[in-house]
Amino acid sequence: MTLDTSAPATAPPARPQRRARRQDTGGASTGERTLGVFTHGFLVVWAILVAVPLLWAVLTALKTDNEIFTSPWSLPAHWQFGNFARAWTTANIGTYFVNSLIVVSVSVVLVMLLGSMVAYVLARYEFPGRGIIYYGFIAGMTFPIFLALVPLFFVVQNLGMLGTYHGLILVYTAYALPFTVFFLTGFFRTLPSALAEAAMLDGCSHAGVFFRIMLPLARPGLISVGIFNFLGLWNQYLLPLVLMPDSDHYVLSQGLAVLAANQGYRSDWSALFAGLVIALLPVLAVYVVFQRRIQEGLSVGAIK
């Protein structure tokens, strides 16, 4: 009887605690919902601010010069696809586009190959001076590039590579290497070492462990940093402006500056906007196609 009578006496205090917990949980969910609504609203506004100028530039590229000034916010009366052909041929955007594609593609391949090997060694091997090398690459990220333009010009000129593709490719590779090493070093440190040790026990060489095991495991990080390098080098302007004085070897950023000056004097604004859209297409296509890869690489590196 005593056990039965004591149980009801101790049972009621537990109910207010449960109610308090439910109230706390409800308050937290309300705050999270408010934050979620605010975040989504901010993202929607940001998307509108980014998308509207892009759509306006595309529509403007399909108008005549008269329509650009008389009805800038309306749809084109007739779609002028010939503006793109005129910008591609007459304004030499096609030549500048091919030059940029060659230089940036080769540079990204070299950066990813060299940067991944350096990052793997810094992340996996102990040797004297490793910290000095690593922090040297980090210091390279913080060094302003415009301070090195004059000595870089004379170095490239003395090597006989001024105004050449391979000269600009080497400079692009050195320019993007510090960020690549910094990003991939942290990524390689998160990868499990058990697979590498098992491969070494099976007789695999150090190069075999890197190319056959570690490099495939680091694919999300490689894709992410590769996309960042492509976008950064594609939009680079200072380095080619100094190192590519020959107009026949201009890259797209230089070509757009020339196009803006020439077409502005000629009042050929439709061809100017068409050239801008052509320059935007590769960057936009790379981001749209690989946006999930970028998020995957960043999230995998953060979780591990």
Q: What is the mean pLDDT of the chain?
A: 82
Neighbours of 218 (CB within 10 A): 24
Question: Where do the H-state alpha helices sit in the chain?
Answer: 2-10, 14-61, 65-70, 82-89, 93-124, 130-142, 149-158, 165-190, 194-201, 206-209, 215-217, 219-234, 238-243, 252-266, 269-303
pLDDT at 4: 43
Chain-centroid distance, C-alpha 19: 49
DSSP 79-130: --THHHHHHHHTT-HHHHHHHHHHHHHHHHHHHHHHHHHHHHHHHH---TTH
pLDDT 10s digits, 47-73: 898 888 889 988 998 998 888 888 888
- Classified by CATH at the fold level, domain 90-303 comes out as MetI-like fold (1.10.3720)
Going from N- to C-terminal start, the domains of the chain cover 2-61, 90-303
Return the amino acid letter for 91.
A
Report how far apart, in Å, the C-alpha atoms of 9 and of each of 5, 21, 271 are. Answer: 7, 21, 86
Measured between alpha carbons, how far is 293 from 228 in angstroms, rounded to an integer?
12
Q: Is the pLDDT score of 154 beyond 90?
A: yes
C-alpha closest to that of 76 among 88, 63, 85, 86: 63
Question: For the chain, what is the largest distance between any 2 Cα atoms, rounded to a whole number of angstroms?
Answer: 104
Q: Is the pLDDT score of 19 beyond 90?
A: no
pLDDT at 299: 57
